[in-house]
Chains A and B, each alone.
Chain A
Amino acid sequence: MIFLYDDEEYTYDDLLSTVNGSGSYYPLFKSKELFPYFANLVKALAAGLPLTLIDSDINPHEIDGLSEDSINAAVAFGEKTYGSVDDLICSLRQSPSEITIFTSGTTGQPKKVVHNISTLTRATKVGEKYAGQVWAFAYNPTHMAGLQVFFQAFENKNTIVNVFGKSRDEIFRQISDRQVTHISATPTFYRMLLPFEQPFGNVVRVTLGGEKSDQHLYDAIGKIFPNAKINNIYASTEAGSLFAAKGDCFQIPSAIRDKIRITDNELLIHKSLLGSSESFHFTDDFYHSGDLIEWVDEAAGLFRFASRKNELVNVGGYKVNPGEVEKAIMELDGVRQALVYGKKNSILGNILCADIQLEADSQLTQLDIRKSLASQLQDFKIPRRIKFVEELSLTRTGKLKRI
């Protein structure tokens, strides 16, 4: 049974023998290779050892308290061998390990959050019906979303196909050659797969997470993956996976109803759902997630995510949600991707800017775009400075990089 496709092929037996191979592991492992990274992860967890996950391209100076000497320094812990992959999975599921991960640091220094198996695998489902799934791995493996996919796949002995950081052509080739059935990725990732060229009927589940999506994108995904059910996940570095939604309508699950509060439209999470971190501030034991929601049906507890609190741009006294403007721009024919942001301005405080990536054959001009937007959006929401770009930069976790 194949565990991982990543340039090379690795079976579950390869994983088992690598884990059984030596009595030492790396508490702090920095590697561009996915198989050794996963093997180290599994080994540490199954043995109940502490682990800190850092990006393969991290500069130690980016994280306070990270000592360069401890990176890739092997630590012996004695022999521990497993008779079978099932034994390995069993030990991992009961692991008392502390796993330290970092936020992507887009708004300042990366923040450290310590998790355990129960907060990391809250949403992991194991059973017969999850057997035989083939997962396209489209996230950074050292952050929460990637870990969610990893645990779901590993605990069910599924196959993982690495497509993170790969080109569009390679991604499609892998989806086809490996007969991928499940994909979980950011909306930005899916947008990079457009425009539609051919359908892939083998994909049965498309999950989106990390950013807000929209109907336009779901429709496009529906063409590329016509047999896939589409859903959204809300997960964060701080809390792990909290809600899943059909389409983009979320509902607070009854199991955690008393641990979630909405105040001033912001999602507040009770500390019992979180990993631990020195950077968490609580009000009455609730953590401000910084995610703003809008009610779809308050009585039924149905809501949508609106924006990140700190992404709102103050333009001439009006608060603009960049996501809303991006959505309107991306609905225009000829637009592939858009990033809307504020730039400091001596008259308005911030002026609204848009970096737009057009489809290859598009002849759209700035004026065309502004005129189209004028019929959809209020004046203050229309970007006054539009630049056409070849591509948009991404964060470590595959989301659009917001300035």
Chain B
Amino acid sequence: MEEFLLDTINEIRSLKGLSPVTSLQPEMNLRNDLGLSSFDLAELTVRIEDKYDVDIFEDGLINTIGEIFSKLSE
């Protein structure tokens, strides 16, 4: 699951001309640390939903990697 998330985020980053990150830490902020815009986050939710059938933003804002991990382990 962590690998899928890392690959997906890196793909999104590369399309914006950002270099890949080497690993994901739970405290990383999606917008501030990973440079993701609303559009990027929307894409991330859809790709996660296609794979895991979970809409991570369903219950409200998610700001960090750690929050995504928790949502997917529920």
The smallest beta-carbon distance between B32 and chain A, in angstroms, is 16
The smallest beta-carbon distance between A352 and chain B, in angstroms, is 9
Quick one: given A343-B46, A384-B46, A385-B46, are A348 and B39 in contact (CB under 8 Å)? yes
B38 at interface, CB cutoff 8 A: yes
The smallest beta-carbon distance between A273 and chain B, in angstroms, is 43
The smallest beta-carbon distance between A376 and chain B, in angstroms, is 15
Tell which of A351, A380, A384 has the most Cβ of chain B within 10 Å. A384
The smallest beta-carbon distance between B56 and chain A, in angstroms, is 9
Bound-state Cα–Cα, A379 to B17, Å: 13
Interface residues on A, range: 10 to 19
| Residues from 375 to 403 in A contacting B, C-beta threshold 8 Å | 379-380, 384-385
User: Does the CB pair A380–B46 fall under 8 Å?
Assistant: no
Q: Which of A316, A351, A367, A374 contacts B46 (CB 8 A)?
A: A351
A residues in contact with B43, CB < 8 Å? 351, 384-385
User: Does the CB pair A347–B45 fall under 8 Å?
Assistant: yes
B residues in contact with A346, CB < 8 Å? 45, 55, 57-58
A residues in contact with B47, CB < 8 Å? 385
B residues in contact with A384, CB < 8 Å? 39, 42-43, 46
A residues in contact with B58, CB < 8 Å? 346
Bound-state Cα–Cα, A384 to B39, Å: 8
A319 at interface, CB cutoff 8 A: no
Bound-state Cα–Cα, A400 to B50, Å: 24
Quick one: given A367-B15, A371-B15, are A345 and B39 in contact (CB under 8 Å)? no
The smallest beta-carbon distance between B15 and chain A, in angstroms, is 6
The smallest beta-carbon distance between A62 and chain B, in angstroms, is 32
Contact residues of B with A, CB < 8 Å?
11, 15, 38-39, 41-43, 45-47, 50, 55, 57-58
| Residues from 340 to 363 in A contacting B, C-beta threshold 8 Å | 343, 345-348, 351
User: Does the CB pair B15–A370 fall under 8 Å?
Assistant: yes
User: Does the CB pair A379–B55 fall under 8 Å?
Assistant: no
The smallest beta-carbon distance between A385 and chain B, in angstroms, is 5
User: Does the CB pair A347–B15 fall under 8 Å?
Assistant: no
B residues in contact with A345, CB < 8 Å? 42, 45-46
The residue on B at minimum CB distance from A387 is: B50
B residues in contact with A371, CB < 8 Å? 15
The residue on A at minimum CB distance from B43 is: A384
User: Does the CB pair B45–A379 fall under 8 Å?
Assistant: no
The smallest beta-carbon distance between B17 and chain A, in angstroms, is 10
A residues in contact with B15, CB < 8 Å? 367, 370-371, 374
Quick one: given A367-B15, A371-B15, A385-B46, are A348 and B38 in contact (CB under 8 Å)? yes
The residue on B at minimum CB distance from A385 is: B46
Bound-state Cα–Cα, A61 to B11, Å: 47
